[in-house]
């Protein structure tokens, strides 16, 4: 418990956040500027200045910041991730995307699990960043089986509550669980899952955007940003091995 409390303090520490944000190279600052800038512009041109519109903009900026810090294996990604996942959950509730709602509840909880695991492993290894690891074959098979089972459970639940875009939306929670668990334990194959998940999310939020969903423009642009970042994250983590 003490390691969790200390890890949370470190992840949310303004001093550590500032320090880790100054440890990027030039191309990473360009990527950060693109991600945050695109989020702000999409919010401005979307002209949805309701409280949900503002929340969509906050979600986009916070999630973008979290992702660029994950690329670098930095603990403070979890502070931004917590803000982003809570805001995203509220937006998803208003868009009635059942799979996305379950996903964001899971992501919010996993931010604190991730803080504990990353902080503990960094202390043991005496490192300032998470280690990129290759997933064992047996675990890869177990994750795949879990994805299939979870998908059909979410399809059933979504049908029961009359959710939107059921067949695609139902992929979000199983893929999100797999990606978050792989990320928590620093497996580089997380990025394969994130790329697939982000590609699906691009389509889902495009449909919400053209049909006039609340805060949908900011969320659609966020999905594009996340997909671009997932390819960069895969590059960063795979080149370490």
Helix spans in the chain (H): 2-11, 14-21, 26-46, 51-71, 77-95, 98-125, 137-160, 166-169, 172-184, 190-210, 216-238
Per-residue 3-state assignment (H helix, E strand, C coil) for 78-115: HHHHHHHHHHHHHHHHHHCCHHHHHHHHHHHHHHHHHH
In tens, the pLDDT along 73-107 reads 899 999 999 999 998 888 888 877 776 788 788 88
- The answer to whether 64 and 225 have CB atoms below 8 angstroms apart is yes
Measure the CA angle with vertex 148, ends 143 and 149; round to 5°: 95
Phi, psi (degrees; rounded to nearest 5) at 20? -75, -25
In the three-class reduction of DSSP (H, G, I as helix; E, B as strand; rest coil), residue 49 is classed as coil
- Look up the pTM and report it: 0.78
Q: Which residue has the tokens 């492993």?
A: 121
* Tens-binned pLDDT, residue by residue, of the chain (241 aa): 778 889 899 999 999 999 999 988 888 898 888 888 888 887 777 777 777 778 878 888 898 899 889 888 899 999 999 999 998 888 888 877 776 788 788 889 999 999 999 998 888 777 778 788 888 888 888 888 988 888 888 788 877 767 666 777 778 778 888 888 898 888 999 999 999 999 988 988 888 788 876 667 777 887 888 898 899 889 988 886 5
Torsion of CA 179, 184, 188, 192, to 10 degrees: 10
Pick from 18, 10, 108, 22: which is nearest to 59 by CA? 108
**Token duo for residue 175:** 């893929």
Pick from 184, 201, 210, 219: which is nearest to 90 by CA? 219
> Is 48 exposed, middle or buried (CB count within 10 Å of its CB: 0-12, 13-18, 19+)?
middle
Torsion of CA 235, 73, 184, 166, to 10 degrees: -50
The sign one gets for the Cα dihedral 155, 188, 202, 112 is: positive
In the three-class reduction of DSSP (H, G, I as helix; E, B as strand; rest coil), residue 47 is classed as coil
């Amino acid at each position: 418990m003490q390691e969790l409390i200390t890890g949370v303090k470190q992840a949310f520490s303004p001093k550590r956040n500032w320090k880790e944000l100054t440890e990027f190279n030039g191309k990473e600052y360009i990527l950060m500027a693109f991600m945050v800038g695109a989020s702000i512009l999409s919010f401005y041109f979307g002209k949805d200045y309701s409280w949900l519109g503002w929340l969509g903009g906050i979600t986009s900026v916070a999630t973008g910041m979290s992702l660029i810090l994950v690329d670098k294996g930095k603990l403070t990604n979890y502070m931004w991730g917590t803000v982003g996942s809570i805001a995203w959950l509220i937006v998803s509730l208003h868009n009635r995307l059942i799979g996305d709602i379950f996903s964001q509840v899971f992501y919010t909880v996993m931010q604190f699990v991730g803080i504990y695991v990353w902080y503990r492993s960094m202390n043991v290894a005496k490192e300032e960043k998470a280690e990129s690891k290759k997933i064992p074959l047996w675990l890869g098979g177990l994750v795949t089986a879990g994805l299939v089972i979870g998908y059909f459970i979410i399809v059933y639940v979504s049908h029961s509550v009359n959710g939107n875009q059921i067949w695609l939306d139902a992929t979000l929670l199983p893929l999100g669980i797999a990606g978050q668990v792989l990320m928590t334990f620093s497996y580089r194959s997380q990025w394969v899952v994130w790329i697939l998940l982000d590609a699906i999310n691009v389509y889902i939020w495009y449909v919400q955007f053209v049909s006039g969903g609340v805060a949908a423009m900011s969320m659609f642009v966020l999905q594009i940003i996340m997909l671009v970042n997932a390819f960069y994250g895969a590059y960063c983590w795979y080149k370490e091995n």
